[in-house]
Structure 1
Amino acid sequence: MSNQKPSPRPVEQGRGGERLPLPPLDALDAEQRAAAQVLIDGPRKAVYGPFVPLLRTPVLLDRVAQLGEALRFGGRLDARVRELVICVAARAVGNQFEWVMHQPLARAAGIDAGALEAIRVGARAEGLMADEQAAVDFATELLQHDGVADASYARALAAFGEPGVVELATLIGYFVMVSWVMNVARTPSRPTADVAPLPAWPL
């Protein structure tokens, strides 16, 4: 029997509609309004994605948003590596929102289009730079086996150092977490003609 975890279907394929849509403005309480305003005033500039369902618990929304900002806007990992790993995590848990949002950011940061297409369809990415490959191998192993072997750890350590390895593992966990929230909520992605969506498994 394989140790690989089964890959999910993307959340928007199949049953039902959005479970936890954005509440009407007049239905928000003061704490929810304050949490929403912090997002609007911050680097995100709006309430979208996982923060739509998280608006039901404003304290949790605030803490999750702060962690995401630290990883995305204050982290030490190069944008190439960060956006690539987010794409790997989105594919692993079948989340269309994060895929559609971060695939263009990965391309803009310099990730090869062919490598991203391979990730999209569940194949091994080829032609990556050494640090990109180390990050993909680390992320893939962690997502499939809930840990990493010594060889994968050593390659990531050589590429990113100890702080970078900790950030890399936290980044993967963060995007799995928010993707799971959206998968449960059936949060829709932003439609775009420029990004091919994740296909359903099995292909």
Structure 2
Amino acid sequence: MTRVSALGEYLRFRSALAPRLSELVILITAAHWRQQYEWDVHAPIALNSGVQPSTIDALAAGRRPPELGEDEAALFELCRAVHDRQIVPNAVYGRALQAVGERGVIDAVGLCGYYAMLAAVLNTAPTGT
């Protein structure tokens, strides 16, 4: 678990992505996995990091946010491809690469995977009912 924690620390606090973009990726992943705990923890952090309230509301409702910046839109499409198709089309990759650079793309995909892993664990744990 120490290595998993180290990966999470890197992805959250030392990634190539600005906190606003990291938190956006985390919310996209939490929404995809219907992971309420991750959502409840990260929605306020995302808001404080500069993610627009309308973006958070749209993600919570399972919709594509209507007013995304170029970097946000590129990461939204990248994350949706990772989660929904498990493969990223070249055009989606290229757009993300142009928006956040190679390290940013790798870190975004790492965030998708890391928070998907956490969501799977949390969604498997008994809920007390």
TM-score higher than 0.5 here? yes
The Cα of 1:159 is off from its aligned counterpart by: 1.0
Matches within 5 A, 1:129-168: 129-168=69-108
Structure 2 residue runs of 5 or longer lacking an equivalent are none
Aligned length: 128
Q: 2:54 and 2:99 mapped to 1: Cα distance?
A: 23
Q: 1:167 and 1:116 mapped to 2: Cα distance?
A: 21
Aligned residue identity for 1:110 = G
Report if the CA contact (8 A) 1:80-1:132 is conserved.
Answer: no
Matches within 5 A, 1:1-203: 61-186=1-126
3-state SS, counterpart of residue 148 of structure 1: coil
3-state SS, counterpart of residue 24 of structure 2: helix
Higher share in helix: 2
The Cα of 1:187 is off from its aligned counterpart by: 6.1
Deviations 1:32-78 (CA, angstroms, capped at 9, x unpaired): xxxxxxxxxxxxxxxxxxxxxxxxxxxxx211111100111111101
Aligned residue identity for 2:105 = V
Structure 1 residue runs of 5 or longer lacking an equivalent are 1-60, 189-203
Normalised to the residue count of structure 1, the TM-score between the two structures is 0.61
What value does the CA root-mean-square deviation take over the aligned residues? Answer: 1.3
Aligned residue identity for 2:19 = A
**Higher radius of gyration, 1 or 2:** 1
